[in-house]
Structure formats: C-alpha cells, structure tokens
Chain A
Amino acid sequence: MSRPMERGSASIPVKVDLRKTDSPTRKSFSERMVEYGEVDKEFVVFESDIGYSTYSYLFGNKYPDRYYNMGIAELGTMAAAAGFAADGRTVIVSGYGVFLTMRAVEVVRSFICYPHLNVKILSSHGGLTAAIDGVTHQATEDIAYMSTLPEMKVLVPCDTVSARGAFDIAMRTPGPVFTRLMRDPLWDIYSPEETFVLGGSKVLRKGDDITLVSYGDIVFQALEAAEILRSKGIEAEVIDMYSVKPFDAETLLASARKTGAVLVAENHQKRNALGYEIATFLFKHRVGTLDGGRRMLFDNLGLDDTFGESGNYFKVIDKYGISARAIAEAAEGLLRKR
C-alpha cells in the first residue's frame, strides 16, 4: 500500500512492501536500454566482454550495428567510447565497477569528464553485491572515485523500477553519468509508475527519531532496520538517496532538522562517499547544534578502511556492518548519546 506524500521530488510510499524479484538491477538497466534503443536510434553501446553478465548483450542482439564489443580491454574500450562521443554523441559503456572505475579512471576523468562528453557508464557488481566473487570483483571505492570527478553525476538505484529510472535520467542528463548496479536480484519496492529525477530522493518511511540514509541494496537493510527499531519504540525515517551526486540536500536537511540524528549506511568504504558528503554538508549548514542547544547526532556505516571477502552476500554485509541488524544497533547506539 502506498499513498503520495508532499516532500521531495516525487510521491512517496508510507509503508513499503518488499517484493522479491528475480531481476538484478544490471539486467533491468540493460532491458530499459533495449527499449530506449527503439526510440532513440542515435546512441551506441560499448562492452568489454562481459555483455552476458551485464546483460548488454540484449542490446547487441537487437542492434548489432550499434554494439561494440572491444574485448577484455577496459582502458581501450573507455577511450574508444570517448572518441565515439567526441562530437557530442551519447555512448554507453558497460562493464564491472572495479575495472571501469579504476583501470579506466584516468580516461573517465581527463577524456570524458573534462571535455564533458555524453558517456554513460553502466557499472555492474557495485559494492559487496558481488560478495561471492571476492575482493577483486567488489567495487567498494567506485562512488569515491566517480563522485570526486568534476562533471560526473552518480546514480545508484535499489530496485528494478529505479534502475530503469536511472537509465532514463542518464540519457536525459547532458554529460557523463555513472550508474552503479548490482550483481544479484534482491527486492522491488517501487511501483512501475514511480518517477525519478537527478538530485531526487525518496522518503520511504516517515519517522521522528532518526534519519536512515542509504542507496542501492542497503536501502532494504535500512528499511528492515527501521522495523527492528520500531519494535524498540524508535521511529526511523528512511531515505533512498538514489541520486548520490548531486544528492537531495533539501530532503536530507528537513529530515535531519526534524529527527536530530542522521545515520548513513552504504555498501562502500566509509571514506569519501555519501556519509562523508552528508557529514560535511550538515556541518556547513550549522546543523551541528539544533534549536535549544541539542546536539546533532551523526554516524556513517560502511567498510571501515578494510577489504571485503568472498561469501554469501547477507553474511558478508552483516560482518562488515551494513546489515539491518548492524544498522539498527548503530542507530540505538547513536541515540543513546542524546
């Protein structure tokens, strides 16, 4: 059940129903890319030999003359995409986050962001969603790299509906856009009519005691954490910050001023990602001390200056402190400081 609310950039459901899905966001993004390819015949897709994993092969099957598999060569692939986009054309580059955001990061910076080219990065296996594959395949620093680059926009959808929405945002936003996607299917929360915008967010649950901010797969953990907290008499507000850069400062600020406590949980290194961004933002906006001298509470969860490991996704995210249990415990701990 859901009903429209006033805050933020779009309608928000009050009670969120999690629906199991068998489609990972990487697949939904690629499926939307195929649909969009019918309408917009001016863009092309570059792949570096993991098309059957990112599902970009679906596009290649339908539009073979607009699909370039450049082989296992992420650096050359990204640079060739820049060349194809040099006169303004939109080019989508598909691959795994670890390779696209690190092996090819210099090309993304100097030859895509700097000349403001319309290159859209489909980046799969974000964070520990690639848990089973081990550290070499877990992009746990991608948000830091990409959000640091001038001109770059960063999106992280949590479900199949917002993954399709992220594709549409990327296509209608001029310049480079990075979209982090997941390896495995989790849940759906949005109805197909839901709309998403650059710089937008969704308040998924209203609460007065603490604001839980997240994006991507950890949104589900935050929602479950809110249920755990409710059983202990704590009402948490949960924000899906699917637009990580730019993020919805207005919604965040309103929620932070209301609850006086912000906990950011992300599937990423703690350093230099959304948690740091929000902490800086809140401090700059003098939210450090609330009306009446009450101290603003803040904490952020993520990989604490460490690497992940192979294993079952749910066990791994729990060990590294971004599961519902860990978020609920951190929230309680934070509120005890009040």
Chain B
Amino acid sequence: METATRTNKSVEDQVAFLKKQAQQVRLHIVKMIHKAQSGHPGGSLSAADIMTALYFDILKVDPQNPRWPDRDRFVLSKGHACPVWYVCLALRGFFPVEELDTLRQFESRLQGHPVSTKTPGVDATTGSLGIGFAQAIGMALEGKWLKKNYKVYALLGDGEMQEGVIWEAAASANRYKLDNLVAIIDNNNLQNDGFTDSIMPIEPLDKKFEVFGWTTRRIDGHNMEQVLTTLREAKAHRGSPFCIIAQTVKGKGVSFMENVRGWHGKPPSDQELAQAIQEIEGGLK
C-alpha cells in the first residue's frame, strides 16, 4: 500500500523530510510522557530517527487496514520504548494523534507496553525483553511458509542482548535462512542500572551476529541519510537475515537527558518539558 509518505523524491529530499518528521516525533514523545507522568523517554528518543525512517519510508503498511495480510510486520522488542511507536502509528494515521494523551491511562488503547489486541498497528505484544525478537522469528517463518514478500522488522535494545533467548532466536534465523527478517539494534549503550559496558558487556555485536550467519552493518543511528540508505539496503537484501547495529544516544535531542542513566524510565517535570520542547524545536532550524 503506497501512501503519501512514500515518494519518488531524491534521497536528499527524503532525508530532509524525515529529519523534520523525526523532530515532530520527538516533540510528541516528551509531551505524552509528561502528560502521563510515566513512561520511558530515553530509549524512545534514541530510537526516534530509526522509527521515523521505518514508518515514513520503509514499511509497507496500511493504516486503514492494520491487519492487511501482505503488510510488513514490525515488532518492538524493546517494548518499553512504545511512546516512539505510538507516535509513529498516530502520525501515520492508525489512530488519532490526540489519543497520544491517553498513554498509560485507565482504559486507554495505549498500554504501558505494547499490546496487539488493543492498539491498531501493533503486530505483537511485547515488553519482556528478548521475547519480541523471538516472536519476529515466528512471523518471518510464517512469511516464508506462505511465500509472501513482506519483511519482518524488529527493533531491539542493546541491553536485551543480555537475554539468552536473543541468541536462540539469532541461531534459528540462520537455520531457516530468514532473509525476510531485519533486526535493528538501538545501541545507546545505556540500560536501567548504568552503562551496558559496565553492567554486562555485549560487544562486539557485529561479529556476534556475523558468526550467527547474519549480514551486519554498523551505522550512526542519528544520521538520517545513513539510517535511510541502510534500511533500504536491508529491505532489498536477500540470502541472509540482516542486522543493523545503530549507534545512538539515549535521550537524543534533549540535552539534560542525553547519555544520562536516570532518564530510562522517568517523566519530565513542567519546567523540564518546556526546556525539552525548546531544544527539540530549536533543532528544527
């Protein structure tokens, strides 16, 4: 399903469009988490550029028909970052943008972690780290079995690389030659308790996925041109599962949140929100 967001514009024009779109996404993220006074801003902001490129260029989805059988699948394995996902879904028209204000509220469709039976456009319930990636394996297997052309995209946190099930899933993607599967690791190097390197080192991720039979790329996850061209390469890739390790900054776009452990799961105050908005809007220039 082609939509207004998919254009034949040059890469430069599309990058410029996506950069503006990503700033809108970031604004909505900080506003909705402030409104809810609960949620995970750091990991949502680090994934904002990747998610924007996915939802406004890469993914073949139909907001009018969220369960369209031929759609690309998307799984947010780092389910706590669902604010960034909800924003992208709302801006793509899966549900009204005003609904973002209901994040985590009583009887809202926007639960604290993603729920497939409640939110239009959410293909898999996630929130327990590692499990979303393993579910994406099953989705890719089904696509292969049905001989469908859709791809399955999974966004993973780097912290969840510490979960054993990640490597069960990585091995099975190779065993079943799942070249319809793209994993993107939001490598912001921070987890709840501190820097990933100090809690439980996970590197070298590229080498690890390579020996598991994946094609890997390392990119700057905030360089929209790199993000876009690498995702387009992954989309066209055949012959092996594809893993993008995107170097990112947790809290990207809001100075006092950037690379600070405490902003994993904390909402901004009124004053902090005002500053965050100012900084994100400032970045629009």
Residues of A within 8 A of B (CB): 44, 65-66, 68, 70-71, 73, 75-77, 79-87, 89, 91, 106-107, 110-111, 114-116
Distance of A65 Cα from B176 Cα, bound (Å)? 11
A83 touches B142 (CB 8 A): yes
B137 touches A83 (CB 8 A): yes
With both beta carbons as reference points, the residue of chain A lying nearest to B137 in the complex is identified as A80
Apart from the given pairs A83-B138, A84-B139, 6 other A-B contacts in the complex at a CB distance below 8 Å:
A75-B168, A76-B137, A79-B135, A80-B172, A83-B139, A83-B142
Q: Which of A66, A71, A77 contacts B145 (CB 8 A)?
A: A66
B135 touches A110 (CB 8 A): no
Q: Which of B115, B124, B176 contacts A86 (CB 8 A)?
A: B124
B125 touches A111 (CB 8 A): yes
How many cross-chain pairs have Cβ atoms below 8 Å apart between A and B? Answer: 98
Rounded to whole Å, the gap between the CB of B135 and the closest CB of chain A is: 4
Whether, in the assembled complex, B207 has its beta carbon less than 8 Å from a beta carbon of chain A, the answer is no
B128 touches A106 (CB 8 A): yes
With A79-B134, A83-B134, A84-B138 as known contacts, state yes or no: A114 contacts B115, CB within 8 Å: yes
Distance of A269 Cα from B102 Cα, bound (Å)? 44
B115 touches A73 (CB 8 A): no
With both beta carbons as reference points, the residue of chain B lying nearest to A46 in the complex is identified as B138
- Please give the number of chain B residues whose Cβ is less than 8 angstroms from any Cβ of chain A in the complex: 32
Rounded to whole Å, the gap between the CB of B167 and the closest CB of chain A is: 9
28 A–B contacts from the bound complex (CB under 8 Å): A44-B145, A66-B145, A71-B168, A71-B175, A73-B168, A75-B134, A75-B164, A76-B134, A76-B137, A79-B131, A79-B134, A79-B169, A80-B137, A83-B135, A83-B136, A83-B138, A83-B141, A84-B141, A84-B142, A86-B73, A87-B67, A87-B142, A106-B131, A110-B131, A111-B125, A111-B131, A114-B117, A115-B117
* Interface residues of chain B: helix, strand, loop or mixed (majority): helix
With both beta carbons as reference points, the residue of chain B lying nearest to A79 in the complex is identified as B134
With both beta carbons as reference points, the residue of chain A lying nearest to B123 in the complex is identified as A86
A residues less than 8 Å from B115 (CB atoms): 114-115
With A83-B141, A85-B138 as known contacts, state yes or no: A110 contacts B128, CB within 8 Å: yes
With A82-B138, A87-B142 as known contacts, state yes or no: A73 contacts B125, CB within 8 Å: no
With both beta carbons as reference points, the residue of chain B lying nearest to A109 in the complex is identified as B128
Distance of A81 Cα from B169 Cα, bound (Å)? 12
Q: Which of A79, A83, A84 contacts B165 (CB 8 A)?
A: A79
With A73-B172, A76-B172, A115-B125 as known contacts, state yes or no: A89 contacts B142, CB within 8 Å: yes
A71 touches B171 (CB 8 A): yes
Distance of A65 Cα from B141 Cα, bound (Å)? 11
Rounded to whole Å, the gap between the CB of A234 and the closest CB of chain B is: 51
Distance of A107 Cα from B168 Cα, bound (Å)? 14
With both beta carbons as reference points, the residue of chain B lying nearest to A84 in the complex is identified as B138
A111 touches B124 (CB 8 A): yes
With both beta carbons as reference points, the residue of chain B lying nearest to A81 in the complex is identified as B138
Rounded to whole Å, the gap between the CB of A280 and the closest CB of chain B is: 29
With both beta carbons as reference points, the residue of chain A lying nearest to B166 in the complex is identified as A76
A residues less than 8 Å from B126 (CB atoms): 111
Q: B110-132 vs A: 1/0 string, CB under 8 Å?
A: 00000111000001111110010
Rounded to whole Å, the gap between the CB of B228 and the closest CB of chain A is: 27
A residues less than 8 Å from B142 (CB atoms): 83-84, 86-87, 89
Distance of A115 Cα from B127 Cα, bound (Å)? 13
A110 touches B165 (CB 8 A): no
Q: Which of B123, B127, B172 contacts A70 (CB 8 A)?
A: B172
With A79-B134, A80-B137, A115-B115 as known contacts, state yes or no: A110 contacts B168, CB within 8 Å: no
Distance of A154 Cα from B231 Cα, bound (Å)? 44
B residues less than 8 Å from A80 (CB atoms): 134-135, 137-138, 141, 169, 172
